[in-house]
Homo-oligomer: A and B are copies of this chain.
Amino acid sequence: MRIGLKEVAAEAGVSRSTASRALSGSPLISAETRAAVEEAAARLNYRPNRLAGALRTRQSHLVGLVLNNLINASFHTIAEVVQRRAAAEGYQVVLGITDADPAREKAFLLTLAAHGVDGIVMIGTGKNGATTNALRAEGVAVVNVIRRPIDSAAPAVLAADREGAHAATAHLLDLGHERIGFIGGEPTANSGRERFAGYEQALRERGLDPDESLIERGPFTPAFGTEAIARLLGRTPRMTALFAANHEAVFGILPTLASTGVAIPGDLSLVCYEDIPWLRYWSPAITVVDNGASELGELAMNLLLHQLKQARGAENGETPNGRAYRVGAQLILRDSTAPRARGGDRPSGPTAAAVEA
């Protein structure tokens, strides 16, 4: 038979209320009674039914994690961090994959609410601000990650795509490069826009105009990378540096460069976006902009846990509009960039920005 609090209470010779209080650490219980109950619980191998507790206390100790997919490195890195942090604080993570479909995302949010989650970490499409606001009104904590819906009142943890792209481009400019290629994402995507903006800004700061013949923007696929790099290599005068800001495209760019015999950094200096193991072990090791996926997840969970503790204190108070935080991008210098002319100096030190918006 399943062991409930009733059985423990009987074993210890007390009432259910007393047993409950003893196990939950209430101060209204004598030391002997507490010991007796704890011993009885241990003897019977009692494990409380969280479902019942959740129904009564309105605390499920579940948090939802909504994201596009688990294939992308940033996403599964964040998922790992969120799960670890949650588990360490006694929360379990319910996982939802949306494929960047707002309808699926909304359905998933409602399902999470039906399961009584205490909070939600949302790496979302940005289309369901209204739904998350409604959930917040019902007392569910929410944190937006990477993207923040315009109409969302929940706090957000954002990446510094523009700053990261700026740092990458500035680094190449510092090395003396002027013809700097850009392979990025669609302008419709947030990261596509922001990273291009950072690239453009860095160029203009040095009095350079972006050169359309050096710019390729397209879908987040390796195939696009293969095509884009082939086109860029065919143009003359050839670029001397390349900023690969479309992570998936990198999977197409690097093999093509290797097979066509372009020497890195001899013929071409290269900076890629998002740090993954491959790039560190590539030959040569690739200089990257690390968007700080772990830190994004870490900070998001901190904010969520903070909200959860607040809620415990002031049930049903007003929910203040959330602040936005930004995790600085970090330029990690490796061996894929070099001065254009021989003898140039290598500027040192990673560039980090941690600003609050």
Contact = CB atoms under 8 A, between A and B. Distances in A.
Interface of A: 2, 47-52, 54-55, 60-62, 65, 69-71, 76-77, 79-80, 83-84, 87, 92-97, 108, 110-116, 138, 222-223, 225-226, 251-252, 255-256, 258-259, 277-278, 280-284
B62 A83 contact: no
A2 B138 contact: yes
A63 to B, nearest CB: 10
A97 B80 contact: yes
Q: Taking each of A71, A84, A255, which has the highest tally of chain B beta carbons within 10 Å of its own beta carbon?
A: A255
B87 A80 contact: no
A80 B70 contact: yes
Given A80-B97, A94-B95, A95-B79, A251 B278 contact: yes
Contact of A47 (B93, B114, B255): B114
A80 B84 contact: no
A62 to B, nearest CB: 7
Given A92-B96, A92-B111, A95-B95, A52 B55 contact: yes
B226 A255 contact: no
Contact of A278 (B50, B84, B278): B278
Contacts of A94: 62, 92-95
A65 B93 CA distance: 10
12 contacts: A2-B138, A47-B114, A50-B114, A51-B54, A70-B70, A71-B80, A79-B95, A92-B115, A95-B95, A222-B277, A251-B278, A251-B281
A50 B94 CA distance: 14
Contacts of A80: 69-71, 97
Contact of A281 (B70, B83, B252, B280): B252
B277 A255 contact: no
Q: How many copies of this chain sit in the oligomeric assembly?
A: 2
Contacts of A278: 251, 278
Given A61-B115, A70-B77, 16 more contacts: A2-B138, A50-B115, A51-B115, A65-B95, A70-B70, A80-B97, A83-B95, A92-B111, A92-B112, A93-B95, A94-B94, A95-B95, A222-B280, A251-B277, A251-B281, A259-B284
Contact of A87 (B69, B96, B115, B277): B96
Nearest to A253: B281
Contacts of A48: 114
A281 B229 CA distance: 13
Contact of A77 (B60, B71, B259, B280): B71
Contact of A283 (B2, B61, B116, B255): B255
Nearest to A110: B47
Contacts of A47: 110, 113-114
A69 B49 CA distance: 27
Nearest to A257: B283
A276 to B, nearest CB: 9
